[in-house]
Structure 1
């Protein structure tokens, strides 16, 4: 049967102090209330734990055995609780994050590079993937995804500007295939697909112009779940890729890629850090959120 930890803790204090008066004063309770707590514990266990005399309090054999058993456990619990409470005040401990690869490289890592040397007691564990993980059951403190992919029951903090997607292919590829004029023309092209856990299993290419909105499920010879491999395949002329504009622009400027359908790619919600609750965050997590928070052109900084 489960025992009340408060009763066991009260017994341990009295057993060590050998005095109900001193124990009650130290615990901030009345002597009679403490005596009643011990008496109830003895009744539940069916044995006498303490001997009370005019000279003080002694331990019975059962009391000595119980003290030897519970005292180390109670001390360990107190130590653990104290450590956890300190996390509210001192930035320390491990933060586990699930994040999309592009955001890790372009946003998260530059922040960590500055933050971690200042806070050596913080440890960051990042899992990079494209899955819409259940961060609660997965044991993550937070996740990083594009805003449109985040569940409405999560708290979402923007960590970057709005994003425009880009459709690109190599000059060689478009030398062998016609330039698409509309998103529907992509059905005639070899599209490099991104594997993404969703009802369709693939990342859907979304387009918009004015009030018109369109989502395409494209086809192609190559399916990847790596942004680096998607970029390499596009540069090597293996197909057309759909990627964040900031990744595509340097390759377009260098002449390795050609951008098409630009007027069909409106701005959309950028990268967000999301998590389930604002209640009692650790000092480390609060610091991390503040450092990542996007404030119209710049990241936040340490609190």
Structure 2
């Protein structure tokens, strides 16, 4: 036979080994779930493929020829190794072990992943979480990631997407000191006359154009200002220090709003959009480690909701 086995080669070899081990066509056929006549035909085809008789057949018994015995001795260890390898693969399917590669927006990691890390490491000591915290939108499959956490509007359509938490809103904010000096904008387009702290998506050359909602549609305002950053927390800190007007996600700046360090502006022109989602490629058989991670993140979400965050 050729060094590589075709599917028909493998089926014929499997049929021959079943008969050789049982020394009975009827018992071998029962173990394989086929009829004795079909099994006999498959084995006969295998003998023709090999070019020699491998089994002696009578109406009452089956025995191996010298060639058949030698073939069985040669291939039995390989068959046993194959069975052991398949058994190990099935065991790994049941064991929660291996590496889960995660790509996540920083804000999502802080809210849904960081709170569950210690418990997850304790419960699943054989799982390694390989976390990449990055606000860039990457091709997770091409990047070798198993799962990602990102906002709904940048998720590929062929992904399974599980929402985490509520919808989000972006709010224009400024410090009381800035407003005392520069006044408040009345309409989003007034922002072009203000010093805005701009944010740039990682990997993008241009700063993000601020988005607002009016009369049933979204529109953009290309704001200007003295500072451009690629980290949203740095942008908010600049706003807190009075450097200009900022644009922040509501739940990320809620504490600053409650404590009066930031003042919300232009709220009539803000609208909710799909929030953080946990997304992963569609798959029929999911690795137990990935399933454990997904379940742990969703449990962290429920705990976050219970806290009223």
TM-score by length of 1: 0.74
Answer yes or no: is 1:19 the counterpart of 2:23.
yes
Matched, 1:250 2:255: yes
Alpha-carbon separation, structure 2, partners of 1:224 and 1:145: 19
State the shift of 1:115 in Å: 4.9
Q: Equivalent residue for 1:40?
A: 45
What are the residue-to-residue correspondences of 1:96-175 with 2, within 5 Å? Answer: 96-115=101-120, 117-171=122-176, 173-174=178-179
Distance in 2, matches of 1:81 and 1:8, equals: 22
Q: Check conservation: 2:196, 2:224, Cα contact below 8 A.
A: yes
Q: Which residue of 2 aligns with 1:298?
A: 305
The answer to whether the 8 A contact 2:173-2:262 is kept is yes
Q: Distance in 2 between matches of 1:157 and 1:82?
A: 28
Q: Would you say 1:57 and 2:69 are equivalent positions? A: no
Whole-angstrom distance in 2 between the partners of 1:103 and 1:95? 17
Shift of 1:101: 1.0
Give the Cα–Cα distance (whole angstroms) in 2 for the partners of residues 239 and 20 of structure 1. Answer: 87
SS at match of 1:110: helix
Q: How many residues align?
A: 293
Task: Compute the displacement of 1:145 (Å).
Answer: 1.7
1:105, distance to aligned residue in structure 2 (A) = 0.6
- Residue of structure 2 in register with 1:214 after alignment: 219
Q: Highest CA radius of gyration, 1 or 2?
A: 2
| Structure 2: tracts of 5 or more residues without a match | none
Q: Would the aligned equivalents of 1:168 and 1:248 in 2 still touch at CA under 8 Å?
A: no
Greater helix fraction, Structure 1 or Structure 2 = 2
SS at match of 2:130: strand
Distance 1:73 1:201 in 2: 57
Task: Give 3-state SS (helix, strand or coil) of 1:184's partner.
Answer: helix
CA RMSD of aligned residues (A): 3.9
Alignment counterpart, residue 79 of structure 2, candidates 48, 71, 76: 71
Specify every segment of 5 or more residues in structure 1 that has no aligned partner in the other structure, as ranges: none
Change (3 A) 1:245 1:62: same
SS in 2 for 1:228: helix
